[in-house]
Amino acid sequence: MNLLLHCTISFFAISYYVTGEKDVKRLLLNDPDVVNDRLNHMENMLVILNNTVKQQSQTIQQQATTIQLQQAEIRVLQSTKGTGSTFTIWGRKQCPNNTDTEQVYSGYAGGGMYSHSGSAAEYVCLPPDPDFQKTSGYNGGYNGYMYGAEYESTFFGTPNEDVPCAVCRKTCSTSILIIPGKNKCYNGWNTEYHGYLASGEYDHAAASSYVCVDSYSEYLNAGVRNDDGKLFYPVLAQCGALQCPPYVNNYPLTCVVCSK
């Protein structure tokens, strides 16, 4: 009797174990909730992957655009290599700190004596390291002369101070324009510097020319002594043939140096 009971219990235990294991496996494989969870997970992964691909595509497109722009800039720089334009800044020891501006040299403003009727009209920017070959001029005394330049008016600061200058080169610009009566450039042009128009005095014997003196003018060291020479005066508007308005009588004229 005991043996029969033991065998019966063992049979049901084995049957339950085997049947139960099969039922669990069938439940995991066929349960709709499990299937839906896995499908939802796969769909979420696909969405994430699609978004990643889109972002990478946008990044690649942006990089391609950047490369095209850089290649265009390189072509422009290559085409303008060896070209450029120069200008002189009056009243400053250094060139403007602008993009693509090189300083050729810093020097001293000079020209003919204001009282000599035969003096050259132009202001010149003399280099600080002159080269001489001869030690004397024409014995007959018929020579031209070069003098230093001074601010002869308190308009530019302390009078009788000697005037500095610098010669500058724009590496990527081919045109330089000096506009009298303006302190900013017109559209499409780049400002190099702005200031006030200067020339010799109207009743001096020597002719002169118009130049643009920087608004923040400097002077050479130890130049306060009154030696005259080529002189800088402000230029005032004079109504009459000059249209007033827009110009105003006796107003100092501004100026601006532009590049393109």
Which tokens sit at 133?
């070959």
pTM of the model: 0.67
Q: What is the pLDDT of residue 28?
A: 55
Which tokens sit at 6?
């033991």
Angstrom distances, CA of residue 209 to CA of 112, 118, 120: 11, 14, 10
pLDDT in tens, 124-159: 999 999 999 988 877 667 889 999 999 998 899 878
CA–CA gap between residue 124 and residue 180 (Å, rounded):
19
Provide the percentage of residues in the chain whose pLDDT is more than 70. 84
Average pLDDT over residues 50-60: 90
